[in-house]
Amino acid sequence: LTSVRYPGVRRGNYAQLSDRHVQHFRSILPKERVITETEDVAGYNVDWLRMVRGVSQIVLKPKITEEVSAILEYCNAENLAVCPQGGNTGLVGGSVPVFDEVIISTSLMNSIVSLDELSGILVCQAGCILENLESYLSERGFMMPLDLGAKGTCQIGGNVSTNAGGIRLIRYGSLQGSVLGIEAVKADGEVIDCLSSLKKDNTGYHLKHLFIGSEGTLGIVTKVSIQCPPSPKAVNVAFLGLDSFDDILRTFTEARSGLGEILSSCEMMDLLSLDAATSNLKLQRPIGEFPFYMLIETSGSNGTHDEEKLTKFLETLMANGVVRDGTVASEPSRIKLMWNLREGITGGLLHDGYVYKYDISLPHNSFYAIIPELRTLLPADKVGRICGYGHVGDGNLHLNITTPKFDPDVLKIIEPFVFEWTSKLKGSVSAEHGIGFKKTQYIHFSKSQSSLNLMVNIKKLMDPKGILNPYKVLPAQH
Ligand code: FAD
Ligand code: 2HG
Ligand code: ZN
Query: Tell me, what CATH number does 223's domain have?
Result: 3.30.465.10
* Cβ atoms 46, 96 nearer than 8 A: yes
CATH number at 90 reads: 3.30.43.10
Q: Is the CB of 186 under 6 A from ligand 2?
A: no
Q: What is the tally of helices (H) and strands (E) in the chain? A: 17, 16
**pLDDT surpassing 60 at residue 369:** yes
- DSSP line for 289-350: --SEEEEEEEEES-HHHHHHHHHHHHHHHHHTTS--EEEEE-SHHHHHHHHHHHHTHHHHHH
- Considering the domain architecture, whether residues 254 and 326 belong to the same structural domain is answered as yes
**Does residue 85 fall inside a structural domain?**
yes
**% of residues, the chain, pLDDT over 70:** 99
Rounded Cα–Cα distance for residues 129 and 185 (Å):
20
**417 and 364 together in one domain:** yes
Residue 473 falls within a domain, yes or no?
A: no
Domain boundary among 182, 207, 227: 227
* CB of 12 closer than 8 Å to CB of 55: no
- Structure confidence by residue, pLDDT tens digits, 296-332: 999 999 999 999 999 999 999 999 999 999 999 999 9
- Gyration radius from the chain CA atoms: 23
Based on the fold, state whether residues 137 and 243 are members of the same structural domain: no
Distance from C-alpha of 163 to C-alpha of 90, rounded to nearest angstrom: 11
pLDDT tens-place string over residues 56-101: 999 999 999 999 999 999 999 999 999 999 999 999 999 999 999 9
Indicate if 299 and 269 belong to the same structural domain: yes
Same-domain status, 66 and 84: yes
Q: Give the distance from CA 345 to its chain's centroid.
A: 15
Shared domain for 305 and 382, answered yes or no, is no
Residue 466 belongs to some domain of the structure: no
The CA distances from residue 391 to 38, 396, 399, in Å, are 39, 5, 11
Question: Which of 58, 183, 159, 107 shows the shortest CA–CA distance to 167?
Answer: 159
Q: With H, G, I as helix, E, B as strand and everything else as coil, classify residue 65.
A: helix
Is the pLDDT reported for residue 375 higher than 90?
Answer: yes
* Of 50, 345, 355, 418, best ligand 2 pocket probe by most atoms within 8 Å of the beta carbon: 345
The domain boundary, picked from 303, 325, 345, lies at 345
Q: What is the CATH number of the domain that holds 399?
A: 3.30.70.2740
Banded model confidence at residue 398, pLDDT cuts 50, 70, 90: very high
CA 53 to chain CA centroid, nearest Å = 19
Calculate mean pLDDT across residues 36-56.
97
Q: How confident is the model at residue 248 (pLDDT cuts 50, 70, 90)?
A: very high
Q: Kindly state whether residue 381 falls inside one of the protein's structural domains.
A: yes
In a domain, 8, yes or no: no
Q: Is the same domain home to 191 and 156?
A: yes
Same domain, 143 and 210: yes
How far is residue 208 from each of residues 112, 150, 197, 224, 290, measured CA to CA in Å? 19, 24, 12, 10, 44
Whether 3 maps to a domain, the answer reads no
Residue 401 lies in a domain: yes
Q: Under a CB-based contact definition with an 8 Å cutoff, are residues 107 and 127 in contact?
A: yes
| Ligand 1 atom closest to 148 (CA) | 28
Please provide the average confidence, as pLDDT, over all residues in the chain.
97
Residue 6 lies in a domain: no
Distance from the CA of 139 to the center of ligand 1, in angstroms? Answer: 25
What CA–CA distance (Å, rounded) separates 72 from 66?
10
Which protein residue has the closest C-alpha to ligand 1 atom 16?
Answer: 158
Q: Which residue has the least CA distance to atom 1 on ligand 1? A: 88
Task: Give pLDDT, residue 478.
Answer: 45
Same domain (yes/no): 119, 207: yes
pLDDT in tens, 193-222: 999 999 999 999 999 999 999 999 999 999
Q: What's the gap in Å between 295 CA and the centre of ligand 2?
A: 14
- State how far the Cα of 393 lies from the Cα of 252, in Å rounded to an integer: 7
Q: For the chain, how many structural domains are there in total? A: 4
**Residue-range definition of the domain harbouring residue 46:** 19-107
Domain match, 116 and 222 both: yes
Within this chain, do residues 222 and 133 fall inside the same structural domain, yes or no? yes
Tens of pLDDT, residues 254-285: 999 999 999 999 999 999 999 999 999 999 99
Identify whether residues 371 and 333 lie together within a single domain. Answer: no
In the predicted model, what is the mean pLDDT of residues 335-353? 98
pLDDT digit string (tens) for 140-157?
999 999 999 999 999 999
User: How confident is the model over 439-462, as pLDDT tens digits?
Assistant: 999 999 999 999 999 999 999 999
Which three-class secondary structure state does DSSP give residue 421? Answer: helix
Band of pLDDT at residue 338, cut at 50, 70 and 90:
very high
